[in-house]
Structures are given as C-alpha cells and as structure tokens.
Amino acid sequence: MRPKIKTAISPILILACCSTAIQAEASFVQWTPQIPSSLSPFQNSPQQLAAFTGSSIAIFAHPAQSISLPTMKYGQRISGKYYSAAVVVPASSKNVARLLQNYANYAGLFPTLKQAKVLEQQGGVSTVQYSIHIPTPIPVLNFRESITMQHQIEGSSISSLVLDAPVPYGSGKLEWFELSPNQTLITVTQWGDLNKPKGFLFSKILNAVPEAKLGIPAGTSGFLLEALQRRFKSSAAEPAMTALPAVKLSEELLLRVAQISQKSQEPVSFILPAQKIQYANNTEIMRFSTSYQYYAQQPEQLQRWLAPPAFQQLFPNQIKSFKIKQINQRQLDADYRISVGLGVISIPFDFKMRFDSPNALQNQFHATGGDLKLVRGAMRLMPFKQGSLLNITSAVKIDDSAPFLLRAMRSMPYHEMLPAVGGNTVFALKIRQKAG
C-alpha cells in the first residue's frame, strides 16, 4: 500500500508546487522594458557620456516615441519623451550596484522617502512600496503619498514599472557603467504620464500650474542623481572663479548638445557643483544650472523673448503686472508682481531684477531686492547651423528674510538647486511654444 500511496501523492505534490510557482509568477507584471538607454545619443559609449557630463549632472531628453506599458488599457499607446540624466561618482561599480539593488535602504538614500518595503521578491524581480512624506510649515501643502513599483535587475541595470502612484503610468531605468576601478557612471532614464495625475495635492498643483509639467522631468532626474552623488561625493562648495559660473563646452561638445536638443526638441542641462558666490559682505553657496535649447528660427526672430517686458507674454498666469525703468542704454530695472496659484493656496511675491544687455541677443540679470534676493543668471542666443541655440544660466536661492510662504518652500529637498534647472527648462520650452 505504501508505494501506491506514495505514487498517488507524488503527482499531487508536483501539481501543488507548479501551482505555487505559477501563482508567484503571476503576481508580477509580465513586462519587456522598451526604455531607451542613456547611452544611445553617445554611440552607446559610457566614456563619451562621462566626458560629456564632466563634474556636473547632465540632463537630456530622447526623441518622442510611442509608449505602451502593461499597466495601460489593452492597445493603449501614449506619445512621450524619456528623460535621461548622468553623473560620474568616485566609487567602484560593485559598490554602486550594491547600493542601487538594496531597495529597503532607499529610505535613507533619497530625501522625502520615509519607508521602502519589499512586498515580494523572486529572483531579480521585486515589488516595492515606497512611502513619501514632505512636511511643510503650511499644512495644506503637506505631501504624503504611497507609490508601488516593480523593479527588474538585468545585468548592470534596474528597470522599473509604476504600479500605483499619483502618476498613473510610468517607467524608468537605472544603469551603471564602470569607467575605472574607482569611478562609475550612473544614469537614470524615466518617463511618467503627467496629463492625468491622481492624488489631491499633486493633481491640484498640476491643474493650477500646467507649466510645471514642462520642468518636472528634468527636476526629477536632477533630484535622483543629486541624492546618489551626495552618497559618494563631497558636496562642499568651491570658491567661484567668476561672478557667473558656466560650463565651458568645446566646439565638439556644443555640437553634440545642439544635436540632442534638435532631435528631442527639449533642453540639454547641466547642474553645476556648488560654488561660493560673493554677495556684498556675505558669501552665499549657490547651485547654478546652465541649459541649451535648439530652435529652427534665427536668433533675430527670437530675440524679443529675451527682453524683460516679454516675460509676461510667456507667463501671463503668473506675472500679474510689471514696471520697467531704463537706467542707461544697456541697463534697466524690472519689477514683477507674481502670484503662483497652487490650486489650494496662492504664493504672491515681488521680483526686482536688473538686466544688463550689451545687445539684443544676450543679457545678464541679478536681483536688486524684492522677496527673492539671491537670483543671478544670464541668457544668450547664438546662431547655430540653420537655426539658433539659446543658453540660459541661473541660480535661485530662498534667503532667510523671504516672506513666510516662500520660506516654506525650503522644506522641499534640494530647494537651492531644483528651481534653477526647472526654471531654465520651462523658460526655454515656453519660447519654443510661442515661436512655433
């Protein structure tokens, strides 16, 4: 009897094991990622992208593509652009891989991420739930959301699929490439559908300030890689050699920048290392970003958008009024009254700026007072091939004397860095919208 019982039980055990395996496999979303590599504009060469990035965080977009994810309705496709960013860190690729593959410790890696819980894991595939909390002195602006993602490790990359989040559809990929035994290139490539946001606060803000959608991809990329480089690199500021730092690009790199921007129709940006800038009797630590946008039009056709009176045409919902006072042939003062409505609250503030324009194709600007006193930058239009290239460099920092509502924004992570790269991106893309 015993052999017969054993013979009868064996198929049942096999079926039970198979059933368990099928159920475990079925709990993950079957997905073959179609995410472009960050290396694709660089002949798939990590060394080329590392040279392009230098000591900065480089951010750029890929050409628009038709995106289909398994979380979408059957047959649904959305036209979108993946954004990539890159940074070089002084660490071995093994240490980078160990850090990125440890999802549970992301809570100590990325600011605002309070908890990371691995819900399920099988081989290289994991489902992870992240709890995000951004407290502010203004209770109505407190942000608290839960995000669930599926991660897949494939070689030196982790592909991620959004399962549940305020952004309903999204995917991304982290990649790392060894440059030398103690130097690694880290890149992130991501896309999210911002047209149908969920969550009360997030949807309110995006519906109230649709321009924010233009700057979020670059800001998100900068946020992720700033967190990673701070884990491996010192964030100590170096004294600035000039009043307005900038990336010095060779002719070859400038051509690469223009080609990437022309193909994607989006800016290419560099977030520079922290620098000490002299302000009167004080020294301020500032984070400059410099961005390049290619346009098909000639510089003379676009120069009107660099004139301070034209800014209200670019941002009619935010700039309520302005006054211009001509100082001399080159300089003028502009006083902008601005109100940023966030759906649940409006933040009013005054911008007082001085512009120095040696000609109609370029200017430098800095704050002369108002509610944001630490603002500095420059804009320049250059002829390039059959069109033109706009270069915007800026830094924005909220000081201790700013009004309460503005100071509340310092609760946001990297508040001294993200407004500049986001602002550069939005400004460049608003000009593209107006220029056609």
Q: What is the pLDDT, as a whole number, of residue 4?
A: 39
Query: Is 44 within the bounds of a domain?
Result: yes
Per-residue exposure over 212-251, b if at least 16 CB sit within 10 Å of its own CB, e if not: bebbbbbbbbbbbbbbbbeebeeeebeebeeebbebebee
- Confidence (pLDDT) at 341: 77
Residue from 133, 127, 123, 122 nearest 104 by CA: 127
Whether residue 316 is found in the same domain as residue 342: yes
| In a domain? residue 27 | no
**65 & 85 share domain:** yes
Hey, what are 309's tokens? Answer: 């009176």
Among 205-209, 266-270, 273-277, top mean pLDDT goes to 266-270
- Is it the case that residue 273 has pLDDT exceeding 90? yes
Domain final position from 207, 232, 257: 232
Confidence of residue 411 (pLDDT cuts 50, 70, 90): confident
Decide: residue 316, CB within 10 A, 0-12 exposed, 13-18 middle, 19+ buried. exposed
For residues 177-187, give the mean pLDDT: 98
- Picking from 232, 252, 268, the residue at the C-terminal end of a domain is 232
The per-residue pLDDT for 111 is 92
Q: Which helix (H) or strand (E) holds 257?
A: helix 251-264
pLDDT of residue 235: 80
CATH number for the domain spanning 262: value is 3.30.530.20
Say yes or no: 217 and 103 in one domain.
yes
Q: For residue 68, what are its two tokens?
A: 């289909």
Please tell me which residue, 8 or 418, carries the higher pLDDT value. Answer: 418
The per-residue pLDDT for 384 is 92
Q: Which of 75-89, 142-156, 227-241, 291-305 has the lowest mean pLDDT?
A: 227-241
- pLDDT at residue number 253: 93
Helix (H) or strand (E) holding 152, with range, is strand 143-153
Is 301 part of a structural domain of the chain?
Answer: yes
The partner residues of 362 in beta bridges, in order of sequence, read 359, 380
Which of 208, 232, 256 is the last residue in one of the domains? 232
In this model, does residue 2 exceed pLDDT 60?
no
What pLDDT band is residue 390 in, cutting at 50, 70 and 90? very high
What is the distance between the alpha carbons of residues 204 and 184, in angstroms, rounded to a whole number?
A: 39
As a 3-state breakdown, the chain gives helix, strand, coil percent values, each rounded to 5, of 30, 40, 30
Would you say residue 31 lies in a domain? no
Does residue 25 form part of some domain? no
Q: pLDDT: is 78 or 242 the higher one?
A: 78
Q: Residue 271 carries which side chain, given as an amino acid letter? A: I
Place of tokens 């004397």: 401
Mean pLDDT value across residues 322-329: 95
User: Domain limits at 286?
Assistant: 238-435
* CA 6 to each of CA 1, 9, 243, 420: distance values in angstroms, whole numbers, following the listed order: 9, 5, 83, 71
Beta pairing, strands 374-384 & 268-271 = unpaired
Tell me the HSE value of 287 on the side-chain side, using a 13 A CA sphere.
Answer: 21
Q: Is the pLDDT of residue 185 over 80?
A: yes
Do 274 and 400 lie in one domain? The reply is: yes
Bridge partners, residue 179, by sequence: none
**Shared-domain flag, residues 245 and 337:** yes
Higher-pLDDT residue of 410, 35: 35
Same domain, 196 and 178: yes
pLDDT in tens, 96-129: 999 999 999 999 999 989 999 999 999 999 999 9
For position 375, what pLDDT does the model report?
94
pLDDT, mean over the chain? 90
Residue 287 resides in a domain: yes
pLDDT tens for residues 54-102?
999 999 999 999 999 999 988 899 999 999 999 999 999 999 999 999 9
Give the pLDDT mean for 23-43.
85
Check if the beta carbon of residue 392 is closer than 8 Å to that of residue 215.
Answer: no
**300-320: pLDDT as tens digits:** 999 999 999 999 999 999 999
Name 414's Cβ contacts closer than 8 Å, sequence gap at least 6.
111, 222, 223, 226
Count of structural domains, the chain: 2
Residue 373 structure tokens:
């006193």
CA distance 347 to 345: 7
Identify residue 347 by its one-letter amino acid code: I
Q: Are 228 and 207 found together in one domain?
A: yes
- Report, as an integer, the average pLDDT of 35-41: 97
Q: Which residue has the higher pLDDT, 16 or 150?
A: 150
State the amino acid at position 85 in one-letter form.
Answer: A
Q: What confidence score (pLDDT) does residue 199 get?
A: 77
Percentage of the chain modeled with pLDDT above 90? 72
Same domain, yes or no, for 254 and 382? Answer: yes
Quote the pLDDT of residue 208.
80
* Across 254-281, average pLDDT: 94
Does residue 403 lie within any of the structural domains?
A: yes
Indicate the Cα dihedral angle 40, 45, 230, 108, nearest 10°: 60
Residue 134 carries which side chain, given as an amino acid letter?
Answer: I
Stretch 259-277: mean pLDDT: 96
What's the rounded Cα separation, in Å, for the pair 106 and 117? 10
Residues near 14 by beta carbon (within 8 Å), at least 6 away in sequence: none
Residue type for 432, please?
R
What pLDDT, in 10s, does the model give residues 252-262? 999 999 999 99
Which pLDDT value is given to residue 24?
39
The whole-number pLDDT of residue 96 equals 98
Other CB atoms within 10 Å distance of the CB of residue 311: 21
- 325 is a domain residue: yes
| Higher per-residue pLDDT: 241 or 63 | 63
Distance CA 348, CA 371 (A): 9
pLDDT digits (tens, 9 = 90+) for 284-305: 899 999 999 999 999 999 999 9
Q: Which residues contact 310 (CB under 8 A, 6 or more apart)?
A: 304
